[in-house]
Structure 1
Amino acid sequence: MNSPAPLTGIALSTEDEAALSALYRHGTPENTLRAWERDLVYITAWKAAVFVQPLCWPEDERVALRFVLDHSTSLTGQPDSAAGIAATELVKLGLRRSLACPSPATLDRRIASWRAFHRMRNLASPFAAPLIMQARTKARRAAAKPRQPKSPRPITREILERLLSSCDDSIRGLRDRAILMLAFGSGGRRRSELTALYREDIDTGDFAKKGLVWIRLLETKTTRIEDAPRLPLKGRAARAVMGWIIGARIETGPLFRPVSKSGRALPRSLAPDAIRVILRHRLRLAGLPEDYATPHGLRAGFLTQAALDGAPLAAAMKLSLHRSAIQAQRYYADVELEDNPATDLLG
């Protein structure tokens, strides 16, 4: 994504503009850049479909208000309306799934991207106007639904053991065991964090003496490369990772890789959705439905198990890397509520 220079009111040379754009690209997490690119494509196509005009900088407030209104209600029953026709065009382009109302989180993210594009150009965003802010608040309340977990169920220790029991000593079994144990044992790692790991991110210097390996996470939602955390992995989990490294003879490059039909680790990274495929496979082998849990269940399971075992929330958060104690506390709240003595007042 070619980020626009953020100080349009100042005369910059071509070289300075290029340097400033490069600074924005290098100073922004890859996941954010990808989200900005998708949102910019969507916003551009939406305005073209509705107003038959390109984006303006700064954007007009009536355009911003229309964007909020068009994405705050279901258009399923009104495909022939102006908003419905535009939404149908976006569906045909593959930019929108259906005419159903997008989730408030999706709307918030696209607006946040649009506001970021204005900041890059040192311009005020129309979404800061009082009328539009009030419309967003009303739309969020109207679309409010009970919070849905990212995984139907957490993968707690008991479920994890069932999954691990399905892993044999083949190359595929070694890989899947290492993925499951590293994901759970290091604090509930996200899919993107697992597939982004390289052999160079695994420090095995303490393994021989302490049975401990250290994991460096360069890409996370809450940390930057310069603050890349190092997380410990102990015991069985550390041995599982070492077993995979030795068994697959991984000396450099991607840590977790596809395995060929002949049982050979291939020299490329796993695809982004590979963790979901692997988990479904292991759930099926463990005698559980494939939709029993999603990869986020490993993250939820880590925090849930930590709560069940009485681990302090702050200690669990040091591994899970949650920035918000409120968000992490949700996993603890359900466990603590069940054990609350006030629930036994009637015996």
Structure 2
Amino acid sequence: MLIDFVGVLAENSCNLPRGARMSQPPAPHLPASPPALSEHDQEALHDLYVRGTPQNTLRAYERDLIYITAWKRARSSAADAAFAKTLQWPERQDMALKFILDHTRDLDKAPLNDPARHVAEALIEQGLRKSLACPAPSTLDRRIASWRAFHRMKNLESPFDAPLIKQARAKGRKAAAKAPAPKSAHPITREVLEAMLATCDGSLRGIRDRALLMLGWASGGRRRSEITRLMFEDISLKEFEAKGLIWLQLVESKTTLKGETPRLVLKGRAAQALVHWIEVAEITEGGLFRAISKSDRVLPRQLSPDAVYQIVRKRLSHAGYPKGFASPHGLRSGFLTQAALDGAPIQAAMRLSLHRSMMQAQKYYDDVDVAENPAADLLG
């Protein structure tokens, strides 16, 4: 039987307590199958969607559908109570327009009796919204993209494709436009990284943190989730003794699907630090980076992405940098920034960072080029 992800999740999403989320990942949704499809073909179609939908996308669908359903229930008037119990397929255009209007202005400046403000306050109380401030255009774009995807899954036209609504979205994007905040206040360049590594002592925790930071930086600026998902089985030590190389095979990344991620290489000090950690922690299988007890004993539990955040924050603090100086994304931005400073070709840096777009990686090179541009010194 095919699982109607959108329908099932929509029915349960608003019954969650404040701050709660679904305990299990959402089941992949499939479009309504043509009546002529046999049960065997339906199962094949289901399998196709399971294999073709990244887990990160499913988690985004889950979060967006929970938010959209909660917003609609709170936004609908008493006259629309029955209509608001579940999402409609296709959704009404007036509801789609209200969604855009409610999310393209600062509601803290709205009158206290403004319906949109009431809804936002209700969502904040449920832990689904952080503040009354206007959400980032990218956040709204993602939620609309999910809502449109839900319609495609049901083989229906989306209300967001209507000319008036498309124009309203474009105007709202311009009205709310602002310079995007960097994911890390500062890049963790080689100088910053060396200062962080200097705080790592010979304890198991110090050895682990050194290996984690060096791998995260030197392998191309890995994301937190990519670091913590690494298993011992994902690395190859066959060429370490002869060439000092370690090969990494990410199962998937934000920009690649399972089985499509190219191998990455780790060499030099970073490779040595990783091997040292593996040896002292006696890791022969399972998670590569693990929790360590207060008594400095390696535990079987893998680190979480939040643990990487705590490690970066702690090492920056020990190195004398102010609070909030950089986040784990600074490993990624720092790698590309350092590549630009050292004159490495952008294509070579992207080969390790796995950036999908040249434009995304180019901005780090542009910042360096502008700073070094002699035209910036014309005034002396």
- The TM-score range, normalised by the shorter chain, is over 0.9
One of 302, 309, 320 as aligned partner of 2:342 = 309
Query: In the alignment, residue 122 of structure 2 is paired with which amino acid?
Result: E
What are structure 2's unaligned runs of at least 5 residues? Answer: 1-25
- Secondary structure in 2 matching 1:267: strand
Counterpart position of 1:163:
196
One of 53, 57, 62 as aligned partner of 1:32 = 57
* Of 22-31 and 257-266, the range deviating more from structure 2: 22-31
Pairing 1:293–2:326 present: yes
Counterpart position of 1:108:
141
Instruction: Note if contact 1:193-1:217 (Cα within 8 Å) is conserved in structure 2.
Output: yes
Pairing 1:80–2:113 present: yes
What are structure 1's unaligned runs of at least 5 residues? Answer: none
Residue 97 of structure 1 deviates from its aligned partner by 1.3
State the distance in 2 between where 1:4 and 1:340 align.
51
Counterpart position of 1:58:
90
Q: 1:268/1:299 Cα in 2 relative to 1: closer, same or farther (>3 Å)?
A: same
Counterpart position of 1:6:
31
- Secondary structure in 1 matching 2:259: helix
Instruction: Note if contact 1:154-1:301 (Cα within 8 Å) is conserved in structure 2.
Output: yes
- Secondary structure in 1 matching 2:291: coil
Pairing 1:278–2:311 present: yes
Pairing 1:229–2:254 present: no
Residue 79 of structure 1 deviates from its aligned partner by 3.8
* Amino-acid identity (%): 60
1:176-199 per-position Cα deviation (integer Å, ceiling 9, x unaligned): 001110011000001110011001
Counterpart position of 1:48:
73
* Of 267-276 and 7-16, the range deviating more from structure 2: 7-16
Residue 4 of structure 1 deviates from its aligned partner by 3.6
* Of 104-113 and 48-57, the range deviating more from structure 2: 48-57
1:214-268 per-position Cα deviation (integer Å, ceiling 9, x unaligned): 0111121111112122101000000011011111111111111111011111111
Counterpart position of 2:103:
71
1:61-84 per-position Cα deviation (integer Å, ceiling 9, x unaligned): 111111111111121233422112
* Aligned ranges 1:194-343 → 2 under 5 Å: 194-343=227-376
State the distance in 2 between where 1:292 and 1:341 align.
28
TM norm structure 1: 0.96
Instruction: Note if contact 1:151-1:293 (Cα within 8 Å) is conserved in structure 2.
Output: yes
Instruction: Note if contact 1:61-1:127 (Cα within 8 Å) is conserved in structure 2.
Output: yes
Q: 1:176/1:145 Cα in 2 relative to 1: closer, same or farther (>3 Å)?
A: same
Instruction: Note if contact 1:115-1:127 (Cα within 8 Å) is conserved in structure 2.
Output: yes
State the distance in 2 between where 1:14 and 1:267 align.
42
Residue 7 of structure 1 deviates from its aligned partner by 3.5
Equivalenced residue count is 347
Residue 18 of structure 1 deviates from its aligned partner by 5.3
State the distance in 1 between where 2:41 and 2:98 align.
36
Query: In the alignment, residue 65 of structure 2 is paired with which amino acid?
Result: L
Residue 26 of structure 1 deviates from its aligned partner by 2.9
- Secondary structure in 2 matching 1:57: coil
Instruction: Note if contact 2:196-2:316 (Cα within 8 Å) is conserved in structure 1.
Output: yes
State the distance in 1 between where 2:151 and 2:316 align.
46
1:131-172 per-position Cα deviation (integer Å, ceiling 9, x unaligned): 111111111111111222111111111111000000011110
State the distance in 1 between where 2:144 and 2:206 align.
44
Q: 1:183/1:9 Cα in 2 relative to 1: closer, same or farther (>3 Å)?
A: same
Residue 339 of structure 1 deviates from its aligned partner by 1.8
State the distance in 2 between where 1:3 and 1:215 align.
29
Residue 17 of structure 1 deviates from its aligned partner by 4.6
One of 195, 219, 237 as aligned partner of 1:186 = 219
Instruction: Note if contact 2:252-2:260 (Cα within 8 Å) is conserved in structure 1.
Output: no
State the distance in 1 between where 2:98 and 2:47 align.
33
